[in-house]
Structure 1
Amino acid sequence: MSDQEAPAPAPAPGPVPRPVRGAARCAVAALALAALAWAARAVWHVRLAMAGQPASGPPDQGGGQHRPLTALEDSYHLVSSVGAAVTVVCALAFLAWLDRVRDNARALSGAEPRYGYPWLFLGWIVPVVNLWIPRGIVADAHRSVFPDRRLPAVVNWWWALWLAGLAGGVGLIHADPTDEVIARAYTGVLPLLAADVVIVAAAGTAALMIRTLTTAQQQRMDEAARPGA
């Protein structure tokens, strides 16, 4: 037998970045639908305010008692339900994009993400930490690939609008009950309309953020894929 040492095994190949433009298009389309859904809610808020509260009072009479809904109130429930369904689709599309961007950042930079995988989902719903972790995940994915660049300002604009939308009580998560929102439309619609405008603006800013970060990451992936890169 030969006394020569066996050759060292070749290092395992690292993770390969995956195309991100398709996930970005899906997320942007879902955000556009969500913006339309919330714009429709704003229209119904105005309709409720103009109609005025019925003489029988708000839908929720207190003590577990609810009066029959008017046709307008019933249609608002439908608009609200459709908006909630669209919001779920939007959230899934956004998370799919963020997961792809996060994985690609690890493949391109060789650095582990600052936040573990469970925070990709828990970061949105755990109180207190949901005020900064989702933005942190987005910022970390960009900075790990482009450590010499400033974080695009659109990321901060998106996050500020998102937090402002949550504070309105009709945000994309932790929303008030529909009957309570109807009562608020009767008694003071302006805060509701302000929240609607903020949420629509947040959706538009999120779409711009997705396009900005996706374009930058895809360009870096194209550069890495060129021969001799």
Structure 2
Amino acid sequence: MAGQDCQVNAHITQQVLRPVRGHARSAVATLVLAGVAVATRAGWQVRLATAGLPPSGPPDQGDGRHRPLTGLENAYHVVSALADAATLLCAIAFLLWLLRVRDNAHVLSGRPPRHAWPWVLLGWIVPVAQLWVPRGIVVDVHQRSAPKERVPRAVNWWWGLWLAGIPSGVLTSSASTDEVIARAYTDVRLLLAADAAVVAAAVAAVFVVRELTAVQQKRLGGAG
């Protein structure tokens, strides 16, 4: 029986299943990159708060008027832009990995995924649905890949941290960089809370990627 199972797994691997290790490595690498970038941005926010609001006031003076930026403020613009770029790159790599393991889970279980493929993207941006759909997709992948195993704790940690960062993240993402600078001068705690949640969620997501990938690699006998 064990030999037959190995033959079936080998046939599935060669004919249908697609490699997942490369996507997993890319997802992990970009998660680490994004975490470091966001942590660096948080450090610049602390530097702004420590320096204090210049006598000339915030960068946005109101009525469409902006004063020249200080050297620290200019540097924050660069750091913030790099953090946004790293986060976007991370999102793309994570979604590519999620699509790949989702497809493999479909093959391994012989049953279609619980959510149609557009929800792999829409689940993150559709109001209300974003509160549970992405986690549901990850849980569904695990259950179809390893039906007899419990969902890893890392999944719940990742999702809890992500949800914790949504309120403060919405407030900061809807503001311009100059508005974020002004907030750093007056109340940096909200900004740090948002960035801390993002960094912690990125760390937890690394474990999610590693554990789900390992589950599928185990089913494939290490191939892919």
TM range (shorter): 0.7 to 0.9
State the partner residue of 1:199: 198
Q: Cα deviation per residue 1:107-153 (whole Å; 9 max; x = unaligned)?
A: 10011011101111111111111111111111111112222222111
Distance 2:170 2:126 in 1: 18
Q: Cα deviation per residue 1:29-80 (whole Å; 9 max; x = unaligned)?
A: 0011001101110110111001101112111222332222111111101000
State the partner residue of 1:3: none
Distance 2:162 2:112 in 1: 27
- Write the letter of the residue equivalent to 2:162: W
CA contact (8 A) 1:169 1:176 kept: no
- Write the letter of the residue equivalent to 1:83: A
Which one is further off, 204-213 or 140-149?
140-149
Distance 1:126 1:174 in 2: 16
Q: How much has 1:174 moved relative to structure 2?
A: 4.2
State the partner residue of 1:123: 123
Residue identity over aligned pairs, in percent, reads 60
State the partner residue of 1:189: 188
CA contact (8 A) 2:145 2:215 kept: no
Distance 2:176 2:215 in 1: 40
Question: TM-score w.r.t. structure 2 length?
Answer: 0.88
State the partner residue of 2:59: 59
Distance 1:145 1:119 in 2: 19
Classify 1:99/1:125 alpha carbon distance in 2 versus 1 (closer, same or farther; 3 Å): same
Between the two proteins, the alignment pairs up a number of residues equal to 211
Distance 2:67 2:166 in 1: 29
The answer to whether 1:33 aligns with 2:33 is: yes
The answer to whether 1:78 aligns with 2:70 is: no
State the partner residue of 1:20: 20
Return the structure number with greater helix share: 2
CA contact (8 A) 2:20 2:97 kept: yes
State the partner residue of 2:144: 144
Distance 1:132 1:66 in 2: 41
Structure 1's unaligned 5+ residue stretches are 1-12
Structure 1: which 4+ aligned runs deviate by more than 4 Å?
none
SS in 1 for 2:166: helix
CA contact (8 A) 1:158 1:205 kept: yes
Distance 1:176 1:160 in 2: 24
- Write the letter of the residue equivalent to 1:209: V
RMSD between superposed Cα atoms in Å: 2.0
Structure 2's unaligned 5+ residue stretches are 1-10
Structure exhibiting the larger radius of gyration computed from Cα positions: 1
